[in-house]
């Protein structure tokens, strides 16, 4: 039932204070506060159009002051996004390293107007603009946001907090090492902490106080993990922080960073997020595209006791969506992939309309799947284990690249390219 219809039908019998709570819960559900939205599930939005173009169901389009692969996040009527400019815009002519600028940007969700653009000076340890670095750029991690502040991570240039009005509050380094394509892990919020996986920058995960930028805890020996951590609430009510890294899935205490359990897993670097269904964790990654399914809540080495199944199917870079007992990927090798969540049985494996590598993860409104390609538009599929193509929707000019995972909030689908931010809404 539509939430507004439910509220209208129950208005005469629901006490006022309960109605206020119900409306508040609905409002919270409309936020998109981190990479892949609520709990990192990639699921949100309502009444998202199936078809759009530069002339149909396009609410607004905003030219951005820089490039980037990070996703937009939303709180209330504000959209927050990171970008970079001045250097590394192309591998052939990267420009002067001294001109590199990092940006935290705030836009209006209603009309796309840029409300403020704050520049952050990069660390001297930022990588030079090689072909691999330029492929993603210097603004790949997605920010996270709460009711007061937005927290943006720039790898070796650190974690920085701004108020919703654009005032810089603090900045914290979490290591300056670099590797491969650069930074990727995005920060997440828990209680009064910002948690960031700085495996690449410092071989560690950090818990940092939101209000001050002070390090509450640091847990080391985090190996080759570009993944954004996942917070899992157990049936007993306690929360675990899950980090998938090379050779092991780790369960940590988010309050202290202490290790609770580990499970042998992917013998390679890891990029995709862990997706949780209650206490069941779906963990993929590695160049061999493996998926391991384990149960949270154990203690010590749980490789024998808590593993459910594993399969040589999954993805190296992109994270899946879990819907109605099935896992869906926009696979980085330009394949639409579906596995049955109970046992890893493949339901479909279909070529996407591109030969280019795919870096954006699939998102869903619960009824449709949105699979973003870099250069051939967004493939829209029915959220069904039977492959059903609905549309392929293209935006922008030839040569415009789409690396970022979209955001869904209310009736809006936000799609970011290396040049523009687009808002799709029903006309």
- What's the pLDDT at 179? 86
In this structure, CATH architecture of domain 31-424: 7 Propeller (2.130)
* Summary mean pLDDT of the chain: 92
Strands 259-264 and 300-301: parallel
Nearest 5°: phi and psi at 58?
A: -105, 105
CB-hemisphere CA count at 13 Å for 85?
13
pLDDT tens digits for range 166-190: 999 999 999 999 987 789 999 999 9
Q: What are the CA-CA distances from residue 35 to residues 118, 146, 268, 344 (Å)?
A: 21, 13, 23, 25
Strand order across the beta sheet in which 378-382 lies: 363-364, 368-372, 378-382, 389-393
pLDDT for position 18: 40
The residue assigned the tokens 């169901």 is 57
Domain boundaries, the chain: 31-424
CB-based contact 57:49 (threshold 8 Å) = yes
Give 209's Cβ-side CA count (13 Å radius): 8
**Model pLDDT, residue 310:** 93
* Sites in the chain below the pLDDT cut of 70: 1-29
Given its phi and psi angles, is residue 158 left (phi above 0), alpha (psi -120 to 50 degrees) or beta? left
The predicted pLDDT at position 7 comes to: 39
List, for residues 401-427, the tens digit of each pLDDT value.
999 999 999 999 999 999 999 999 999
Spatial contact of 33 and 146, defined as CB atoms under 8 Å apart: yes
Nearest one of 255, 295, 294, 290 to 269, comparing CA atoms: 290
Q: Give pLDDT, residue 16.
A: 44
DSSP E strand boundaries for 228-375:
230-233, 239-245, 248-252, 259-264, 275-277, 280-285, 290-295, 300-301, 307-311, 321-323, 326-331, 335-340, 346-351, 363-364, 368-372
Q: What pLDDT is recorded for position 91?
A: 84
Residue 52, φ and ψ in degrees, nearest 5: -155, 170
SS (H, E, C) 15-51: CHHHHHHHHHHHHHHCCECCCCCHHHCCECCCCCCCC
* pLDDT tens by residue, 374-397: 999 999 999 999 999 999 999 999
d(CA 100, CA 133): 13
Cα separation, 187 vs 228, whole angstroms: 7
Cα distance between the two ends of the chain: 23
């Amino acid at each position: 039932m539509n939430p507004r219809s439910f509220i209208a039908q129950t208005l005469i019998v629901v006490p006022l204070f309960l109605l206020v709570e119900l409306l508040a819960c609905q409002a919270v559900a409309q936020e998109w506060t981190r990479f892949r939205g609520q709990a990192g599930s990639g699921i949100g939005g309502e009444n998202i159009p199936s078809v759009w173009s530069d002339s149909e169901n396009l609410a607004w389009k905003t030219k951005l002051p820089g490039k980037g692969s990070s996703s937009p996040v939303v709180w209330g009527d504000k959209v927050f996004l990171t970008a970079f400019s001045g250097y590394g815009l192309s591998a052939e002519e990267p420009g002067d390293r001294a001109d590199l600028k990092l940006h935290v940007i705030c836009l209006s969700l209603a009309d796309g107007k840029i409300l403020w653009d704050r520049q952050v000076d990069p660390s001297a340890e930022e990588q030079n603009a090689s072909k691999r670095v330029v492929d993603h750029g210097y603004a790949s991690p997605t920010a996270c946001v709460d009711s007061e502040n937005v927290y943006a991570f720039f790898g070796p240039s650190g974690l920085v907090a701004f108020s919703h009005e654009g005032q810089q509050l603090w900045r914290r380094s979490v290591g300056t090492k670099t590797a491969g394509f650069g930074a990727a892990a995005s920060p997440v919020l828990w209680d009064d902490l910002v948690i960031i996986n700085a495996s690449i920058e410092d071989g560690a995960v950090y818990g940092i106080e939101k209000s001050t930028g002070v390090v509450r805890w640091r847990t080391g020996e985090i190996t080759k993990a570009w993944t954004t951590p996942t917070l899992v609430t157990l049936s007993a009510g306690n929360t675990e922080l899950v980090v998938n890294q090379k050779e092991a899935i780790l369960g940590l205490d988010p309050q202290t960073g202490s290790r609770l359990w580990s499970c042998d897993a992917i013998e390679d670097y890891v990029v995709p997020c862990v997706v949780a269904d209650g206490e069941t964790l779906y963990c993929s990654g590695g160049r061999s595209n493996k998926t391991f399914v384990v149960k949270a809540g154990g203690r010590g080495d749980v490789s024998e006791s808590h593993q459910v199944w594993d399969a040589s199917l999954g993805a190296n870079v992109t994270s899946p969506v879990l819907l109605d007992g099935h896992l869906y990927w926009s696979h980085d090798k330009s394949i639409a992939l579906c596995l049955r969540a109970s046992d890893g049985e493949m339901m479909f494996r279909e070529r996407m309309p591109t030969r280019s590598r795919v870096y954006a993860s699939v998102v869903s409104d619960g009824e449709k799947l949105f699979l973003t390609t870099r250069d051939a538009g967004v493939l829209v599929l029915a959220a069904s284990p039977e492959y059903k193509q609905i549309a392929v929707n293209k935006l922008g000019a030839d040569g415009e690249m789409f690396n970022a995972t979209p955001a869904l909030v209310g009736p809006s689908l936000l799609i970011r390219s290396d040049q523009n931010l687009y808002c799709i809404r029903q006309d």
